[in-house]
Amino acid sequence: MARLAAVFLIFVALIAPAHAVQPDEMLKDPVLEARARHLSEGLRCLVCQNESIDNSNAPLARDLRILIRERLKAGDTDSQIIAFLVGRYGEFVLLKPRFDLRNLFLWLGPFAILILGIAIAWSKRSRPVESTAVENELSAEEKERLARVLKGSR
- Region for 3 from its dihedrals, namely left if φ exceeds 0, alpha if ψ lies in -120 to 50, beta otherwise: alpha
pTM value > 0.85? no
- 3-state secondary structure at position 97: coil
- Architecture of the domain spanning 2-98: Orthogonal Bundle (1.10)
Q: Give the C-alpha separation, 120 to 116, whole Å.
A: 6
Cα torsion 22, 25, 26, 31 to 10°: value is -130
C-alpha pair distances (Å), 57 with each of 25, 75, 152? 13, 26, 62
The angle subtended at Cα 10 by Cα 20 and Cα 27, nearest 5°, is 25
Where does CATH 1.10.8.640 sit in the chain? 2-98
Q: Give the C-alpha separation, 36 to 61, whole Å.
A: 13
The predicted-structure confidence for 3-12, as pLDDT tens digits, reads as follows: 776 666 665 5
The predicted-structure confidence for 121-152, as pLDDT tens digits, reads as follows: 888 876 655 555 555 688 888 888 888 888 88
pLDDT above 70 for 76: yes
Identify the CA nearest to 90 among candidates 46, 47, 30: 46
Write out 37-67 in H/E/C secondary structure. HHHHHCEECCCCCCCECCCCCCHHHHHHHHH
The pLDDT value recorded for residue 2 is 75
